[in-house]
Structure 1
Amino acid sequence: MILTLVAFAATSAWGQGVGFGYKLRPQFRTQITPLKDGTFQVKPVGGSSAAVTYWCGIGDYAVRTLGVSNSQRIYVSKAYEKGARTVNFSFTPPPGADTKSGYSLTVNRVGENLSAASAQNYCFDNFIDMGF
């Protein structure tokens, strides 16, 4: 089962705009595929393969679709695969992986992790349209 996730639906209150004419636009679209081993495969829809796209996708899916706690840790269980443009995530630390957080956002290292709320917050990056 493949679910297409749009960070914010255009018909939602968020998609219609927030105060002072600032608009929120769904820029990060991903496909989330729950796998049999309990992990989730994330693949961007469109051109962006930036780390922020993957973290936004899994964070928003975890919080809004699965209803996990904001403090739930999300781990990279299979690092970015260039040809497939996919990353696998889990809610448990991968066995033997280093789970110490680094200084930069990445999906290239198994064990990299963020809280669900921190991951979802990347969905809000670059959404303010000042109309200039």
Structure 2
Amino acid sequence: MRFLKVFASTALVLAPAIAEAVGFGLYVRPQFRTEITALPDGVYEVKAVGSSAPVNYWCGIGDYAIRTLGVPNNQRIYIYRAYEPGVRTVQFSLSPPPGADTKPGYSITVRKVGANMSASSAQNYCYDNFIMDTF
């Protein structure tokens, strides 16, 4: 009986560490990935690997912008070229695309040129443990 109590106590202590090691819990990037390619004129192409949910693209560009490019958290990120189903890519820019409506909306879309959000808002989708596959 004593062995069982020690085993149960150890399991309770180690459970959070084990959960994070296998990808559960807070501060763990979900199993969705992106590939970022820098294009001319400050445009970045994001290709989804795994899910093509809109938040996957925003997570990818937001994380890249903050960690790699070093942009401030409040920097706006704009969709420069909308989602292409066959290629599964979206192009983003740190400056508004010419002639596009850039009024911020409430929808998380990758199908509207000019749609935008702050770099930190985009990066926060990386910490979502539940990503919906809807447009």
CA distance in 2, matches of 1:119, 1:58: 7
Compute the TM-score of the two structures, normalised by the length of structure 1.
Answer: 0.76
Task: Report the CA distance between 1:22 and its aligned residue.
Answer: 3.2
CA distance in 2, matches of 1:61, 1:28: 14
How much is the aligned-residue C-alpha RMSD, in angstroms? 1.9
Identity of aligned residues (%): 68
Q: 1:77 touches 1:111 (CA, 8 Å); kept in 2?
A: yes
Which whole-Å deviations, capped at 9, do the CAs of 1:91-114 have from their partners, x for residues lacking one? 000011000122210000000000
Paired positions, count: 109
Q: Which of 89, 106, 111 lines up with 2:109 in the alignment?
A: 106
Task: Establish whether residue 31 from structure 1 lines up as the match of residue 35 from structure 2.
Answer: yes
Q: Which runs of 4+ in 1 moved over 3 A?
A: none
Contiguous gaps of at least 5 residues in structure 1: 1-15, 128-132
Larger radius of gyration: 2
Letter in 2 for 1:33: T
Higher percent of residues as helix: 2
Contiguous gaps of at least 5 residues in structure 2: 1-18, 131-135
2:3 matched to which residue of 1? none
CA distance in 1, matches of 2:90, 2:25: 32
Compute the TM-score of the two structures, normalised by the length of structure 2.
Answer: 0.75
Q: 2:30 touches 2:128 (CA, 8 Å); kept in 1?
A: no
